[in-house]
Amino acid sequence: MKTDALFYRLFQALPGLVFELAGITGLNGRDYRFRSEEVKQTAFRLDGVLTPPAAKSEWPVVFVETQMQADDAFYGRWFAEIFLYLYRMEPVRSWRAVVIYPSRQVERLDERRYGSAVELPEVYRVYLEDWVDVPAATVGLRLVQLMVGKAADAPVKARQLVQDSSASTELPQPVLLDLVETIVVYKLPGMSREEVRRMLELHDIDLRQTRFYQEVFAEGEARGEARGEARGETRLLQKLLARRFGALPEWVGAKLAAAEPAQLETWGERVLEARSLEAVFMA
């Protein structure tokens, strides 16, 4: 898996991590939604856009790019995408732009054309090399340090993360375990996922016994008793999917409404292991 794909998943789970890395204050990252967006009728596609709630008109839209490889054409392409997006954006919002590099050595900046552009107050450049040895107080920063740190340090850091009970206050345990396992598999490509789970001492953990799973299913069971078993299972699965993957598209609601109880049960068993929303509903 490419590093930028890892960051994409990380920012989906923890949108506020972008603000933390960039030093942007005064915004509630939990209310933002991270996704990619295509600029209509062009070949441009913005890999990462943090969109605020519609009701928060004063909050900016935030463009996010992880640039792990040197690219002489990056700034020209990125600024073109951003300003075309802003030109077509409705309703009008203010904006921020954050580019994340592994190190300053990777950045390629043509000072003649874009030197003043990167100095705009809306533009933030983040260098992960600055965060490697910084004491990390949040799960998001600890995950970043696990990702960019030395491979030899990964097993210890990963075990500390998954065994830290306070981490579940920021991320549901299944989501945290999924991210940690994926990062370690990336850092140590010679190991299988099962070997990584043994290394992290996860072999005795049943995800269905986690607080995340129990809270959601307890709520679903209560609703099922009050409104009928089938309807309760549908609402339960919808809640679990939303907690796992974020805002749900319309097609998910249609599938859930038309499903038989046996199908709902099958989908429910896949939620905690599936890597994407589409994978839950695969044939």
Tell me: the pLDDT tens digits for 203-237?
Answer: 555 545 444 445 555 555 555 444 445 566 787 78
The per-residue pLDDT for range 132-146, each reduced to its tens digit, is 888 888 999 999 999
Whether the ω angle into residue 135 lies within 30 degrees of 0, i.e. cis, is no
How confident is the model at residue 228, as a pLDDT? 44
- Tell which CATH architecture fits domain 3-130: 3-Layer(aba) Sandwich (3.40)
The per-residue pLDDT for range 19-54, each reduced to its tens digit, is 999 999 999 898 998 888 776 555 567 878 999 998
Q: How far apart are CA 255 and CA 260, in angstroms?
A: 10
Mean pLDDT of 7-23: 91
Q: What percent of the chain has pLDDT over 90?
A: 33
Q: How far apart are CA 266 and CA 269, in angstroms?
A: 5
Mean pLDDT of 192-196: 72
In the predicted structure, residue 100 carries a pLDDT above the cut 80: yes
Mean pLDDT of 74-93: 92
What does the domain layout of the chain look like in residue ranges? 3-130, 150-205, 209-280
Q: How far apart are CA 172 and CA 185, in angstroms?
A: 20
How confident is the model at residue 226, as a pLDDT? 42
**Four-CA torsion 179, 181, 182, 183, nearest 10 degrees:** 80
Query: Cβ of 93: how many Cβ atoms within 10 Å?
Result: 16
Instruction: Tell me the three state secondary structure of residue 33.
Output: strand
The per-residue pLDDT for range 246-263, each reduced to its tens digit, is 778 888 888 888 888 778
How confident is the model at residue 145, as a pLDDT? 92
Instruction: Tell me the three state secondary structure of residue 61.
Output: strand
How confident is the model at residue 265, as a pLDDT? 77
Phi, psi (deg, nearest 5) at residue 27 = -125, 145
How confident is the model at residue 1, as a pLDDT? 42
For the record, the structure tokens of 111 come out as 């000072």
146 or 170, greater pLDDT: 146
DSSP 241: H
Instruction: Tell me the three state secondary structure of residue 153.
Output: helix
DSSP 60: P
**Four-CA torsion 35, 78, 140, 202, nearest 10 degrees:** 70
